[in-house]
A and B are shown apart, each in its own frame.
Chain A
């Protein structure tokens, strides 16, 4: 999988563009780390890739197809996204349903997916919290649950928006291992992070800057 950004420009208002002529290419099997000052538009850039926002000029191409022609849902089949505030991507009444309800809605909840859900819960250390209310979990638990909802599907590219802000050392270790495993199995990862300690845990990431360097 290949995500190309060519001459991307975006601004929330017409007066001052936030992102001005941004170019880069993300490929599978690699880990990228995006840095930039607070408020320079990193979150905005990821929203452009997912087409939650539309660039004013320039183009974003996924596997040789311009995302103009794709819907958010289509892009998300292959790209997983962890919000800066994972709480906003949780909505089911219990942890278990958080994973199962998309399958239920699509009527694809089979024995196989049930097994996969249990496995994912275990992988993310959520088996014991299975029946808890997602919005009342701790910051780290919410993040693990949000990640579980991503990994319960087969994605090829993962975008993490400041993932280390609400987790402890152990959480960071877990996350960096998860990223390493995913990259090893051929996935691509884009991490936005300021946290030097966390970035040091990543396995040789390619560094990118948005805006001027610090």
Chain B
């Protein structure tokens, strides 16, 4: 069965919202399992996309480890005399962060199983203007461009004789902030060029667009939508009662 993009969008929104509002590691684990299961059911090829997200994943791991080491509280697990290195509270904190980010990533992967064409159609059906729907789908395509802009500039800096590996942390941060600005403005300039190129190919030349293929929600979609809303709502309510909401 081919799932309607609108159903997938709803799943993405529900899962990532739950991930952001839940605070308890047990609930987060449950949401994580559900997100993984949804991906498995929809047939996203997770193994194939993981290597492409190496950088993002390593940042998440880095932050989680940093949090486990810096947040103190609960029972000390690893310590020398009075100095606590790892505590239960720190571990929980780091684990929650890692889980939360993983859920957000997993749920955005749901979108990968849909072509950008279908995604645009789905958004239009939800009464979102074509231009905006188009922009959303283009944004996804621009993430790699942005990454390239950044790594190119990093290389350019090394070519001016900087050794980033040797730089102190403070200096490194300063350098990264220096690189972020042109990467952003570079991406904006590039997207403006893209917009000009699209306009020159006749985008928006005619008013209302019609579509050859029409998306219709099938009964299975209605079933999934109702199930998703009910489960997400029920789960949120349950967590609220248990006091595990943000």
Contacts and interface: CB of A to CB of B under 8 A. Distances in A.
Query: Do A and B come together as binding partners?
Result: yes
A72 B186 contact: no
B182 A71 contact: no
Contact of A88 (B152, B161, B185, B189): B152
A116 to B, nearest CB: 15
A52 B182 contact: no
Interface in A21-63: 50, 52
Interface in B123-178: 149, 152-153, 155-166, 171, 174-175, 178
Contact of B179 (A81, A87, A91): A91
Contacts of A136: 189
B32 to A, nearest CB: 35
Contacts of A72: 155, 158-159
Nearest to B158: A72
B165 A76 contact: no
Contacts of B162: 73, 102, 105
A77 B161 contact: yes
A136 B153 CA distance: 16
B160 A93 contact: no
B178 A76 contact: no
B143 to A, nearest CB: 18
A135 B156 CA distance: 15
B159 A89 contact: yes
B181 interface: yes
A184 B160 CA distance: 23
Contacts of B163: 71, 73-74
B181 A149 contact: no
A136 B186 CA distance: 10
Given A101-B178, A105-B175, A87 B186 contact: yes
Contacts of B174: 105
A124 interface: no
Contacts of B156: 83, 88-91
Given A93-B181, A135-B185, A105 B158 contact: no
B81 to A, nearest CB: 39
Contacts of B181: 91, 93
Interface in A89-103: 89-93, 101-102
A102 B161 contact: yes
A88 B189 CA distance: 13
A73 B162 CA distance: 5
| Residue from B156, B164, B174 with most neighbouring chain A CB atoms (10 Å) | B156
Contacts of A149: 160
Given A105-B171, A135-B189, A76 B161 contact: yes
| Residue from A52, A91, A102 with most neighbouring chain B CB atoms (10 Å) | A91
Nearest to B167: A105
Interface string B175-215: 10011011001100100000000000000000000000000
Nearest to B171: A105
Contacts of B185: 135
B186 A102 contact: no
Interface string B58-72: 000000000000000
A91 B178 CA distance: 7
B184 to A, nearest CB: 11
A194 interface: no
A89 B163 CA distance: 16
A199 B149 CA distance: 31
Contacts of A101: 178
Given A71-B165, A91-B178, A105-B175, A135 B186 contact: yes
26 contacts: A71-B158, A72-B155, A73-B162, A73-B163, A74-B161, A77-B161, A81-B159, A83-B156, A87-B186, A89-B152, A89-B153, A89-B159, A90-B156, A91-B153, A91-B157, A91-B178, A91-B179, A91-B182, A92-B178, A92-B182, A93-B181, A105-B171, A135-B185, A135-B186, A136-B189, A153-B161
Interface of B: 149, 152-153, 155-166, 171, 174-175, 178-179, 181-182, 185-186, 189
